[in-house]
Amino acid sequence: MSKKLFELHAEMCKVFSNPTRLEILNLLNNKELSVTEMIQNTNLSQANISQHLSIMKAKGIVASRRNGKNIYYKLTSPKIIKAFDIIREVLSERLAKGR
């Protein structure tokens, strides 16, 4: 594998190292949501959500579209959630074993 691929992988993993971004990814699992809908489903401010969405958009993890005053976000690939779910399963197993 090329060093560039490892660099891209590391950059994407940095995005996933933030609990707020993981919460947003979980919200976007198989659906498109507006920032307003994300605010309603979390205890996060509009500024906080927008900041994290901006980071994820810059890394190609989410895409956006505008409809009137609302901006809607969705994941760019369902494979992102597959990776997300695998990591969560491993961590759940560790927690169940008391580690």
pLDDT in tens, 6-48: 998 888 888 889 999 999 999 999 899 999 999 999 989 999 9
* Phi, psi values for residue 86, rounded to 5°: -65, -45
Q: How far is CA 81 from CA 1, 22, 62, in A?
A: 23, 10, 12
Count other C-beta atoms under 10 Å from residue 43's C-beta.
7
**Domains delineated in the chain:** 3-96 (1.10.10.10)
Query: Can you give the pTM of this predicted structure?
Result: 0.83
pLDDT in tens, 36-95: 999 999 989 999 999 999 999 999 999 999 999 999 999 999 898 888 888 889 989 989
